[in-house]
Amino acid sequence: MSALKKLTPQQVRFFHEEGYVIVPDVFDPADLDALRAALHAEIDRKARELKAAGKLEHPHEELDFDRRLAAIYRDSKENGEALMRHLEGLRGGGFHASEMFDVIAHPKLLGAVSALLGTEEIVASSVYRIRPKLPNIGRGVVPWHQDSGYFASHCDASMILTCWIPLVDATVENGCMQILPRTHEGAVATHHTGGNAGFLVIKDENLPADPRRAITAACSKGGVVFMTNRTPHCSTPNYSDHIRWSADLRYQSAEVPNNVGLWPESHDEAGNANPEFYEKGNVACYPPEADFLVHSVKHPEDVTDYAEYVKRRETYDRTNANFSAFRRWPALATTS
């Protein structure tokens, strides 16, 4: 396996001091066009299915990738949300295109990941999140949180790298992220369930710094925003006339708890996993989803290929797991 091209020492130092770094040239912008095309083709395929089933009147074939899904959503919230759930990469989602895997395993990205993790023994999570933030739709606004809020607490002190990859230029107008710098060294903040669109949320009084200290994480297509798992961030509204497409991925050192090589086994007809698999055998930071070795100098023969990636992801997706058993947060108080 060839050596990876790394970031500069200055970029690595900035990341560890600030809790994030924005690298504008990880990819050539054209490197992401295959993924954009695959997503657009999947939107077209699903829209034709919905039309054939009599659920969709106007598939909007005339519109490009950055506008078509928004038009379908405007016509029918139900159809739009069905398409977004299919694309987003949540458990049970149906978009497993090779173009997505090619980005996850892209040598240019892994070079940056290796520099920030300080190792070439890299584990990736099979989970990815495709984020289609539609114009003027509140569903895409993500409240303040740390990614560690979603992980098992035994990984709070571990480094789990988030790579946020815009598929269009991410700007203030179309809803780029806000990040609180130099706030990633302390304990994981108290989160609450019941935030916008079902997201976890850190209330302002629980943030490790005044939210007015936040920086705007504008990033052009081809760039990547790298964050630690304890870096507080949020996502702002999209006031533009186009979709703000992005993807976020997770990586960690092979020494961080993971479930590489482990396969869940269902123990009942409903697909529920044997409880011992999650209570004893699976110590991953996010146990319901499959980790895999994406780069290794020591064991290149164990690096996962696309076929194995899909098999692992789909097997975990078919196995029911209640993550609240691993991390419980209080609910936001409701007002009548």
Q: Are 45 and 19 in contact (CB under 8 A)?
A: no
Place of tokens 């997706």: 317
Q: Are 168 and 67 in contact (CB under 8 A)?
A: no
Say how far residue 254 (Cα) sits from the centre of its chain: 19
Contacts of 311 (CB under 8 A, 6+ apart): none
Mean pLDDT of 162-170: 98
Task: Return the minimum-mean-pLDDT range out of 38-52, 87-101, 107-121, 148-162.
Answer: 87-101
The tokens describing 288, both together, are 């319901």
Q: Are 47 and 56 in contact (CB under 8 A)?
A: yes
Q: Where are the domains of the chain?
A: 11-30+97-325, 35-88
Alpha helices in the chain (DSSP H): 9-18, 33-52, 68-75, 77-88, 98-104, 107-117, 275-276, 306-317
pTM greater than 0.85: yes
Residue 95 has pLDDT above 90, yes or no: no
Determine the angle formed by the axes of helices 77-88 and 33-52, rounding to 10 degrees.
140
The tokens describing 51, both together, are 């039309």
The architecture CATH gives domain 11-30+97-325: Sandwich (2.60)
Q: For CA atoms 67, 73, 74, 79, give the dihedral sign.
A: positive
Mean pLDDT of 316-328: 75
What gap in Å lies between CA 21 and CA 15, rounded to an integer?
5
Place of tokens 């070079």: 111
pLDDT value for 19: 98
